[in-house]
């Protein structure tokens, strides 16, 4: 998957978890929590959805890498680069 495809996948997951949020103006470098009303359970849902959809295991110590869209894509890129978008 390309970085753009990974970003689209994260947007898809976010739209499932927070369907009432407007994701069109999401700033990639700004933390999700400053832009969206996500609580800690929503954040865990993102991690679980990545595991369910792509079998990606994210250690709890790495959760800080998922703070913003830019950091999430950068963190996932090495793991997802060889995956094919479904």
Total number of domains in the chain: 1
For the cut 70, the answer to whether the pLDDT of residue 30 exceeds it is: yes
Mean pLDDT of 53-72: 94
On whether residue 86 sits in a domain, the answer given is no
What is the CATH number for 50? 1.10.1200.10
Parent domain of 71: 3-16+29-80
For the cut 90, the answer to whether the pLDDT of residue 4 exceeds it is: yes
Residue 84: pLDDT band with limits 50, 70, 90: confident
For the cut 80, the answer to whether the pLDDT of residue 43 exceeds it is: yes
pLDDT of residue 83: 84
Identify the H or E element spanning 13: helix 3-17
On whether residue 54 sits in a domain, the answer given is yes
On whether residue 43 sits in a domain, the answer given is yes
Give 72: exposed, middle or buried? Use CB within 10 Å, 0-12, 13-18, 19+. buried
On whether residue 73 sits in a domain, the answer given is yes
pLDDT of residue 86: 62
């Amino acid at each position: 998957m390309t970085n753009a495809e990974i970003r689209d996948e994260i947007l898809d997951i976010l739209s499932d978890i927070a369907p009432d949020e407007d994701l069109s103006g999401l700033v990639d470098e700004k933390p999700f929590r400053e832009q969206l009303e996500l609580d800690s359970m929503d954040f865990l849902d993102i991690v679980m959805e990545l595991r369910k959809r792509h079998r990606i295991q994210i250690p709890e110590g790495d959760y800080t890498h998922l703070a913003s869209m830019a950091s999430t894509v950068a963190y996932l890129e090495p793991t997802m680069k060889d995956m094919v978008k479904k």
